[in-house]
Structure 1
Amino acid sequence: MSESSPQQRNAETTRKRILAAAQRRFSKQSFDATGMREIAAEAGVNVALVNRYFGSKEQLFEEAVAEAITIDALLAGPQDGFGTRTASAMLSKDFKYIDLDPTAAFVNSLGSPVVGERLRRAVEERLLPEISGWLGGAHADQRAAMIFSALLGFDVLRRMARIDALNARHGPVLEDLCAATLQSYVDGAPDKED
């Protein structure tokens, strides 16, 4: 096994710093409002280095945000406990993200004419099929989309809009309601007769 050179390690460290800075910036403001100079300054590098590693702001956004939004942790575990497990995780989250706040980054930039479509594709082509494949069964695509919309909506209204009815002090009630709703999407509705 060959060890990486100090130059390779330094390049990898610099690249990670740039990605982390981009994630923080895109979590705070939209793609369109974020400048490459801001990202470079936050990473402590020259803007030319950001361009060298990532080529463009769009490519940096793709790697820093679109590819980094995942739902893997919520799908780890049995289906019959998904609602309870996920509701508990959503209500116990402290939302003190180190770098990427996936909900904020998604909401901030979804309306961007430049990267909004990339985000839509990331959801439609990667996240929803992952959930749908995990679910299986009838109407898996629609059930997956409902799960994603429930999680996103809950997070946006609770944390970003700070809706009082979703405040943590209502924890037990919210956990029960959220768990039942999410589990109903996992279990699926019985087919209706025509």
Structure 2
Amino acid sequence: MVLCDAPRPRNANATRQAILEAARERFCSDSYDDVGMRDVARDVGVDAALISRYFGSKEDLFVAVLDSCKNGRDLMDGPREDFGERLAREIVYGEVMPCQDDGQNEGAGAKMRGLLILLRSVGSAKAMDVMQRTSNNRFFDPLAAWIGGPDAPVRARLAAGLIMGMAIGRELSDGYSSLGETQKAELARRMAGALQGLIDN
């Protein structure tokens, strides 16, 4: 006889994933300094000590969240010849970079989530230390290797600056909501040309 009120065994992998998703949502919405382990624990319905057991410190949890997001390598998915147009359309027309990911969304939300987390926490000294230690491996080096050529590191940083600047602009203007469709199309066209020029030349 099975008792209806018998507790179900804890699924460690599912719990760990739930913690990771809750933390990702928190770091997307708030800066590193404003996210507490107890907040994440409350979102999942577990004890904060369990987060420490699975992930270690808050810094370790932050790194795990960044590792779970799309990184620079994923921005290069697709044909090289339409890189600029692809990225421009994702930033200008994509959804407003949601943090939740069901595994199906491969547009701006999925590919830019890590960037949004970085932007949220750019004012935090602790988060900046983590980002400065990992940004080359996470973004700049893969992009430079994909671009190729002796000046690839320079072009990679110029392209990254444009992408990040436009992403910040999207956040500040609520998805470029103040622009009409013709203006958005022109914005995407110009951004695509600038990005593609950095990749090709």
Structure-1-length-normalised TM-score: 0.84
Per-residue deviation at 1:91?
2.1
Match runs of 1:27-176 below 5 Å:
27-65=28-66, 68-95=69-96, 97-99=98-100, 101-162=113-174, 167=179, 169=181, 170-176=183-189
Identity across the alignment (%): 30
Structure 2: runs of 5+ lacking an equivalent: 1-7, 102-112
Contact 2:27-2:117 within 8 A present in 1 as well = yes
Matched, 1:184 2:185: no
Structure 1: runs of 5+ lacking an equivalent: 1-5, 189-194
Per-residue deviation at 1:104?
2.8
Per-residue deviation at 1:108?
1.8
The alpha-carbon distance between structure 1 residues 18 and 187, as it changes in their structure 2 partners (threshold 3 A), is: same
Number of residue-to-residue matches in the alignment: 182
Superposition RMSD on alpha carbons, in Å?
A: 2.3
The alpha-carbon distance between structure 1 residues 173 and 119, as it changes in their structure 2 partners (threshold 3 A), is: same
Contact 1:67-1:122 within 8 A present in 2 as well = no
**SS of structure 2 residue aligned to 1:115:** helix
Question: 1:113 is aligned with what amino acid?
Answer: A
Contact 1:166-1:174 within 8 A present in 2 as well = no
**1: CA distance between counterparts of 2:177 and 2:200?**
26
